Structure 1
Amino acid sequence: MVFNSNSLKLLSRVSFHKLHSHTAFPRNSNHNAVDDVAAAICDSFRRRRSWDAVSRKFGSLELNDSLVEQVLLELKDPNDAKTALSFFHWSAKTHRFNHGVRSYSIAIHVLVRAGLITDARALLESLAAKNRDPGAVRAVTDSLIDAVGFVSGSHRPVLDLLVQTYAKMRLTEAAFDVCCNVEARGFRVSLASFNSVLHVLQRSDRVSLVWDVYEHMIRGRNYPNAVTLKIMIDALCKEGLLQRNVDALDRIMGERKRSSHSPSAIVNSSLILRMVEKGHLVEEEGKRERVAVMVVTLLKRLLQQNLVPDSVGYSLIVHAKVRLGSLDSALEMYEEMVMSGFEPNSFVYTSFTGGFCKEGRIDEAMELMRGMEGRGLKPYGETFDHVIIGCAAGSGRLEECLGVFEAMLGAGFIPSCLSFDKMVEKLCENRDVEQANANLTRLLDKGFLPGETTYSLLIKGYAAKGEVQEVLKLYYEMEYKSMCPGLSVFTSVIQCLCRCGKLEDAEKYLKTMKSRLLTPDVAIYETMIASHEQKGNNARVLQLCNEMASLEL
């Protein structure tokens, strides 16, 4: 078919209707002209004419979306796939045609249908590079799904390639968005595609997002294979959580069965523990309960698929109920489980101990600890921590708190910073800071690493008793350990020095504080002002008052 220049000029002014998602290819009154031009272009490319020759023939033709898409659809047969790709590149380079998402989608489907995966990947990379934000990613996903109706064949390979392309480009959030968008449209993403996303995330500095993707997989009934589990174990190692989570399994199944802990049990129990801890941080009770329901539902699914042993699954259900739901409800369920043959373990007992302590039911927690020993179960560090924190929070239980602390050391465990700080705080309130400091010395010999809060409490305790030397000793111990004393520490130090008449030393620490970009609070200024007034240093008093005013304190 031959076109003269006037015909082409006339045709270039034809308004072609643009294709939209969810619609069949349009036909209008000019469709015969469109078909003729599309057929002529296809014929030229099928004859393997050079780009220059094709450009001379169609040089005056103005391409638009409708015509480009018509040509690509005319060349959708696998035998014409390379021809379609040649036309796609010719139109972009010689006619400077800016391909839209839809023409990309059709071309990619044509190439995948013909098995030209490398070429399809190249187009997908170009498309992905131009569409990175969530809205654009959704548009690309929808376009690729809708294009299936025009190019016969399966959508799945194309969508999997899209996920893998975004992952390869390290656009992991976009890759995950594609997974979510595809599933929202009622289709599935292959496990290999999820693995590609997990692999890139695990090797990045956003390891925590690995667990969000893995949780999404399980909730969508995409269950892991050996490759998935290896990636997740690597993620646990990178986070430094593998040993902690294996220890949790030991407490459920017994250390003698440690060698039988499968990667699946380790990974999936780690997922549940993570979900429970995140849910525990939610303040709204209704939301916590919804998280509990979701966790229990997920655990039942894992049990059905034999992805966790029964003892692990049921223990984690109890743990989730205790941490996120009602303690009494968890107890009722636990009693039913025991009647059905469930064997209690240290992990479950510790969960209940923590639940009782949180609700202030310390006597029941203490009784539970004794019950563990009666069953031949050993309390571990977290068990003791719960009771220490619970006793320290209650009134009149300091002696019990100290007794549990001694029992913990006798069992070979070291308290957490949190539980030790609670005990130190209670001792300081009781004006027994010396015993608190002595206990710290004992723990330091066992490898305990105190934090700033520990030192702050001790300094505050000694400052309340006016023991300046002990205050400064602890301050310099913090400095020696490269800790950065905070506002509370400087407040205690300065107030103690002022009360003891060491105003010059107090000024020195105030200066040090400011040099470290710490802003003094009202308590410091009021203490300093009162001390200078007693000394008759009116000029300094005025200066400090002006500083307070400038800071709007």
Structure 2
Amino acid sequence: MAGVNGLVQISVIIVPSKDVPCMGLLLRSSGPALILSAFHRFHVRWLLGKNPIREHHLRTTYIQDHILRMVHTNASTAEIAIRDLLRRDGNWDSLSADLDSVELTDSLIDEVLLELTDPIDAKRALSFFHWSARQKNSGHGVRSYCIMVQILVQARMLEHARALMESVIRKNADAGSSKFMVVDSLLSTYTSTQSGPFLFDFLIQTYAKLRMFDMAFDVCRYLEEHGFSSSLISFNTLIHVVQKSDRNSFVWKIYEYMIERRTYPNAITVQTMISSLCKEGTLKKFVDILDRIHGKRCAPAVIVNTSLVYRIFEDERIEEGIMLLKRILQKNMILDDIAYSLIVHGHCRTGNFESARESYDDMLKRGYHANSFLYTLFIGLHCKEGKIEEAKRLMEEMLLDGLKPYDETYDFLIVGCSKTGRLDDGLIFFDKMLGGGFLPSYLACNEMMNKLCEVGHVEKANSILTVLLDKGFLPNEATYSHLIDGYGKEGNAQEVIKLYHEMEFKGPTPGVMAYTSLIRSMCHCGKVKEAEKFLTAMEDRSLTPSMHIYDWLITSHCENGNVGRAVSLYNEMIKGELKPDAHILAVLAERINDAVGICKQGVRIR
């Protein structure tokens, strides 16, 4: 009926659901009766003083409008009601009973959480998050997790936030879902949860601590594409955990990206990068490079940045390296003479002598001096091009400038002289190298050994190895293989066997390369039985003989008239799925008169 002062008089009858399960609550007014859900029954209880069985006359316009809105906006009312209950520290059992007919959908849960984004509501939101999961009897969706995480991060409840973040990351890591589903969900709810940039630092750090390094880095770059830059703390965390995992190349990839994005290192970053250099065993290398360029020890940050640029140039990414070098120069993170020297190195690395010379001349015009690092670069370029006289001239000029050559300088000259057949010059540089307290690289040593053995100076090569061994040089398999081949060509089977025993006793352990040289040399010396012993030893070490090894053995047996054994080796080769070449077939055919003879020996020519 009509109330006083023009207000509508509303009669509300709240009926327990066990008595009227299909209706729940009746709202009577001057119009037809309206049916409300069980949820609305529970909400109106609050308005009526929480007494479920009595009749009230609500005579205020506010209450009338509020109840009518409940009828037409069920979802919105649910969010507000649950939020209010949580803020009043309501009883969960009461909430469960009153919401028995309301479906807790993902969208409803998300909207309730979004009503509780204020940090003071964070604990209530977390309670609702866990309660609703139990009510649903199923896990929450990614969006619900992400909203909850953002609420907790904003409230600095980081332990709870990390637990949920790790949970949702793990659930979606192997679910075949989109790679960036979690970060996309965080981005989509970033504004509505009133989050801050720390959220994404928290995400990257969580990935890092889960040892999902690649994903952490991918997310970092993905966020950059969406306008969110990672903080230095996040980069430091990621670099630290990756460095601990011994993925040193990945450490440098992250550091390079960090500099590209204009996030510059602090003392913690530099310390971690120095640890990475120590782990990969290259710290001394870069300290030595800087000593040769700058003439004195440099700060750790300069060592790290020199290493970064050097690696980029070694990958022949010249333009990228120069761009990054300019950036760190602007921040005084590297010295000018070092930067110029690295640019010259980059051009030399790609064989661009003209650009290298231009950069070098520009450096001199700006008042910087040449250094042993640069001289060695140009000597190396000339040696690679076979211009030994030019390389020797630069060596003399370097000495006149008071600069000292080092191991790499001599290596370039020894290799260049050896390849061009100037063995006398190569030996002179070798003697000077040893006199300077340096040992040759494997490349320089083996190149010289090979050329000496090729021209018949195997004794000289052997004496050089003896000297090197006395100075602590550790020869590799190739070093011994060159000497074995040299003695084999001379027919000196005794020295060949002696070198084999030396390898077995002192190392390195013979591999395919050494056994190939041993068998070839024994065959050349006419010692086929000894050659077959090496074949057996090779197979005992699970090393697979090559077609060339069978070629030498078959040829040697045929030359000695042992065609049966030659055929047996041929069949063994076929069994090993090695395809004989024309030479093997010709040698066998020469020793066997006709096709009938071939069949009798069991040869299958194909």
Assess same fold via TM > 0.5.
Answer: yes
The DSSP-based 3-state class of the residue aligned with 1:490 is: helix
1:112 aligns to 2:138 (yes or no): no
Give the AA of the match of 2:189: A
Aligned to 1:439: 464
Contact 1:138–1:177 under 8 Å retained in 2: no
Give the AA of the match of 2:85: S
Aligned to 2:448: 423
Given candidates 447, 472, 479, the residue that maps to 1:454 is: 479
Tell me by how many angstroms 1:114 deviates. Answer: 2.4
Alignment of 1:123-522 (within 5 A): 123-132=164-173, 136-154=178-196, 156-254=197-295, 257-258=296-297, 261-277=298-314, 279=315, 288=316, 291-324=317-350, 326-394=352-420, 396-522=421-547
Contact 2:477–2:513 under 8 Å retained in 1: no
Q: Distance in 2 between matches of 1:198 and 1:542?
A: 61
Q: Distance in 2 between matches of 1:181 and 1:137?
A: 11
Q: TM-score, normalised by structure 1?
A: 0.89
Given candidates 65, 73, 80, the residue that maps to 2:106 is: 65
Tell me by how many angstroms 1:406 deviates. Answer: 1.5
Q: How many residues align?
A: 520
Contact 1:128–1:165 under 8 Å retained in 2: no
Over 3 Å counting, the alpha-carbon distance change for 1:542 and 1:57 in structure 2 is same
Contact 2:329–2:335 under 8 Å retained in 1: yes
Contact 2:488–2:525 under 8 Å retained in 1: no
Give the AA of the match of 2:378: F
Contact 2:252–2:308 under 8 Å retained in 1: yes
The DSSP-based 3-state class of the residue aligned with 2:113 is: helix
Aligned to 1:282: none
Percent sequence identity is 49
Give the AA of the match of 1:427: L
Give the AA of the match of 1:307: M
Tell me by how many angstroms 1:137 deviates. Answer: 4.6
Q: Distance in 2 between matches of 1:50 and 1:365?
A: 89
Q: Distance in 1 between matches of 2:23 and 2:173?
A: 41
| Runs of 4+ with deviation above 6 angstroms | 7-12
The DSSP-based 3-state class of the residue aligned with 2:180 is: helix
Aligned to 1:22: none
Deviations 1:471-521 (A, max 9, x none): 111111111124231223222222322333323222211111111111222
Q: Distance in 1 between matches of 2:305 and 2:491?
A: 54
Q: Which has the larger radius of gyration?
A: 2
Contact 1:386–1:419 under 8 Å retained in 2: yes
Structure 1 unmatched runs, 5+ = 13-29, 280-287
Coordinate RMSD, CA, aligned: 2.4
Q: Which has the higher helix share?
A: 1
Q: Distance in 1 between matches of 2:490 and 2:96?
A: 93
* Between 295-304 and 404-413, the greater mean CA deviation after superposition: 404-413
Q: Distance in 1 between matches of 2:72 and 2:366?
A: 73
1:53 aligns to 2:90 (yes or no): no
Higher RCO (C-alpha 8 Å, min separation 6): 1
* Between 268-277 and 441-450, the greater mean CA deviation after superposition: 268-277
* Between 478-487 and 125-134, the greater mean CA deviation after superposition: 125-134
Contact 1:160–1:193 under 8 Å retained in 2: yes
Deviations 1:229-269 (A, max 9, x none): 11111111111111111111111111xx22xx211011111
Q: Distance in 1 between matches of 2:391 and 2:292?
A: 18
Structure 2 unmatched runs, 5+ = 1-11, 25-34, 39-70, 579-606
Tell me by how many angstroms 1:325 deviates. Answer: 5.5
* Between 341-350 and 106-115, the greater mean CA deviation after superposition: 106-115
Contact 2:246–2:279 under 8 Å retained in 1: no
Tell me by how many angstroms 1:213 deviates. Answer: 0.8
Q: Distance in 1 between matches of 2:505 and 2:91?
A: 77
Contact 2:242–2:248 under 8 Å retained in 1: yes
Give the AA of the match of 1:448: F
Q: Distance in 1 between matches of 2:263 and 2:22?
A: 59
Q: Distance in 1 between matches of 2:177 and 2:392?
A: 55
Q: Distance in 1 between matches of 2:138 and 2:456?
A: 81
The DSSP-based 3-state class of the residue aligned with 1:149 is: coil
